[in-house]
């Protein structure tokens, strides 16, 4: 396909890392080679790398790129993920798992959790996690891909990945360069705007080179070199709802087989992440500087590592929120340049992915129609807000009162949309998904119940079953889940058989060798 004068021809991606090379990879795949795609990246600027954990939507991204999953996991030293375990969030000593996939099995016109709520009120139900394959298999250390088993939860297993963000960027760089993307080494020192309309005309590098383009994708991280530095777009600060503004990151050695889930452990003024890879564990402590010093945060993190510390702790500063415009003139902000929400539910990489999907949908002509830009911004604003509400739920719906931080979170005002969702669920367990918001009924129900938000009632249609029929239905699902978990291999065994790095050995093999 030839590029005509009305089409964008020159695309400049400012910044590499996860956002930059995801952008380059997907655009080099969906656009013809007549487009000139360049990535301006400096080796002097480090990669933040907060996005090592993902959600199942990343499989769609990989499918667009036609990646081989085993090769992708091996080269990023990755593991698989069935969900996220939350420890001490509801109260100290409590834990639950937000699993991917489905809760139980819906029956008739209503969701499974209504039948579960009725059985629970009868004293005849276990924790909700016992009725989902993901939430049962994850703590058991089991994992497998979907299998051709008729009428079985094994037929449709939802999962995502953990991987090394630096290796992921390198993997996608190789992919993009093989499709004609050019990398330009250099640090940007200035931006040239067109006098007529204020659009970005070019960027100037430290060695004097000028890189011109028609469409600029800002992947420069928190700095927002173009979207903020050059265009002064503005930023919506959400720290009044999500008060954490600092993070400390450090890797440590593995301790046994990697778990098939991410772990988030609540701390006195924030939370600690644990992301298991084949060669190490990624750890971090996100906290509020208003309630805790950096020295305290580092001490808590280092005290709670599973294995030997492998590097010096790395501090990060951020302001939770979003740009007032994600697309301004001829600049589209992607990744951390567009905004930041802590990786509590592993949404960082998804927001890159959804931004790129939306950019492809509204890919501009050389004229940059304002209607396209406005719709892009409207949809992206809405997506950020709905994810924000889901994260705020974790902090606000808690029984903890043991520290000033948690007392603040319990008593703070919350967004009205979140308040409405919580009140609807608290009444009779109902949840209404707004359009195509990212998290649906499975996620919201697991987290609301996990955080201690228990409905007063349930949908009346759950009473259509007799007591005996109800217990047979709910108990049957529990038994099916147990049998499925029993036949699944361990996570370590699955990795070793399919996508292991050379030095990886599952615990079972190590114990036999000993």
**Residue 203 and residue 214: Cα distance in Å, rounded?**
12
139 sits in which H/E element = none
Structure tokens at 152: 């079985």
Find out whether 136 and 482 touch, Cβ atoms under 8 Å.
Answer: yes
E strand intervals along 50-199: 79-81, 83-87, 95-99, 160-162, 182-185, 188-193
Residue with tokens 């890159």: 352
382 sits in which H/E element = helix 370-396
**Residue 144 and residue 447: Cα distance in Å, rounded?**
24
Q: What is the dihedral of CA 167, 169, 175, 180, to 10 degrees?
A: -140
Q: Of 59, 75, 77, 81, which residue is the catalytic one?
A: 81
**Residue 96 and residue 84: Cα distance in Å, rounded?**
8
Q: DSSP state, 131?
A: G
Would the CA dihedral through 294, 86, 392, 407 be positive or negative? negative
**Residue 435 and residue 415: Cα distance in Å, rounded?**
18
**Residues paired with residue 80 on neighbouring β-strands, in sequence order:** 161
**Residue 318 and residue 161: Cα distance in Å, rounded?**
25
Would the CA dihedral through 467, 470, 476, 482 be positive or negative? negative
Residue 81 is a catalytic residue: yes
**Residues paired with residue 39 on neighbouring β-strands, in sequence order:** 13, 183
Structure tokens at 134: 């993901």
**Residue 371 and residue 140: Cα distance in Å, rounded?**
50
**Residue 357 and residue 378: Cα distance in Å, rounded?**
15
- Find, among 32, 33, 47, 39, the residue nearest to 14 by Cα: 39
Residues with a catalytic annotation lie at: 81
């Amino acid at each position: 396909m030839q590029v005509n004068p009305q089409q964008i021809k020159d695309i400049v991606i400012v910044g590499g890392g996860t956002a930059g090379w995801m952008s380059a990879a997907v655009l080099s795949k969906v656009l013809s080679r007549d487009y000139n795609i360049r990535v301006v990246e400096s080796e002097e600027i480090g990669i933040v790398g907060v996005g090592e954990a993902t959600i199942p939507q990343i499989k769609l991204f990989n499918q667009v790129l036609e990646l081989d999953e085993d090769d992708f996991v091996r080269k990023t030293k990755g593991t698989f993920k069935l969900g996220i375990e939350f420890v001490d969030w509801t109260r100290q000593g409590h834990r639950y798992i937000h699993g991917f996939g489905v809760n139980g099995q819906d029956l008739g016109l209503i969701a499974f959790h209504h039948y579960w709520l009725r059985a629970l009120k009868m004293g005849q139900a276990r924790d909700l996690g016992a009725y989902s394959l993901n939430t049962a298999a994850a703590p058991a250390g089991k994992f497998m891909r979907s299998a051709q088993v008729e009428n079985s939860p094994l037929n449709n297993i939802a999962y995502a990945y953990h991987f090394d963000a630096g290796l992921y960027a390198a993997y996608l760089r190789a992919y993009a360069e093989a499709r004609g993307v050019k990398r330009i080494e250099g640090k940007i020192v200035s931006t040239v705007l067109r006098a007529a309309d204020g659009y970005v005309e070019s960027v100037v590098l430290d060695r004097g080179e000028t890189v011109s383009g028609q469409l600029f994708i800002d992947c420069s991280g928190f700095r927002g070199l173009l979207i903020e530095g050059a265009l002064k777009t503005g930023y919506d600060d959400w720290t009044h709802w999500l008060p954490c503004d600092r993070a400390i990151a450090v890797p440590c050695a593995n301790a046994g087989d990697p778990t098939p889930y991410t772990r988030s452990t609540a701390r006195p003024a924030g939370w600690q992440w644990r992301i298991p890879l084949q060669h190490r564990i990624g750890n971090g402590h996100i906290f509020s500087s208003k309630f805790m010093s950096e020295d305290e945060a580092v001490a808590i993190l280092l005290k709670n590592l599973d294995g030997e510390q492998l590097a010096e702790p790395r501090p990060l500063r951020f302001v939770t929120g979003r740009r007032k415009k994600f697309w301004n003139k001829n600049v589209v902000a992607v990744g951390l340049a567009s905004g930041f929400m802590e990786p509590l539910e592993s949404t960082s990489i998804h927001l890159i992915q959804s931004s790129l999907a939306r950019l492809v949908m509204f890919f501009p002509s050389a004229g940059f129609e304002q209607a396209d830009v406005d719709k892009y911004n409207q949809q992206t604003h809405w997506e950020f807000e709905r994810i924000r509400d889901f994260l705020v739920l974790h902090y606000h719906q808690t029984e903890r009162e043991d520290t000033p931080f948690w007392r603040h979170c319990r008593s703070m005002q919350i967004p009205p949309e979140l308040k409405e969702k919580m009140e609807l669920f608290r009444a009779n367990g109902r949840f209404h998904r707004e359009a195509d918001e990212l998290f649906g009924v499975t996620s919201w129900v697991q987290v609301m119940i996990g955080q201690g938000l228990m409905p007063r009632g349930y949908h009346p249609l759950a009473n259509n079953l007799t007591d005996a029929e109800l217990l047979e239905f709910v108990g049957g699902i529990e038994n099916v889940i147990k049998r499925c978990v029993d036949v699944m291999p361990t996570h370590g065994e699955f990795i070793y058989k399919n996508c292991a790095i050379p030095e990886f050995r599952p615990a079972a093999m190590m114990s036999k060798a000993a």
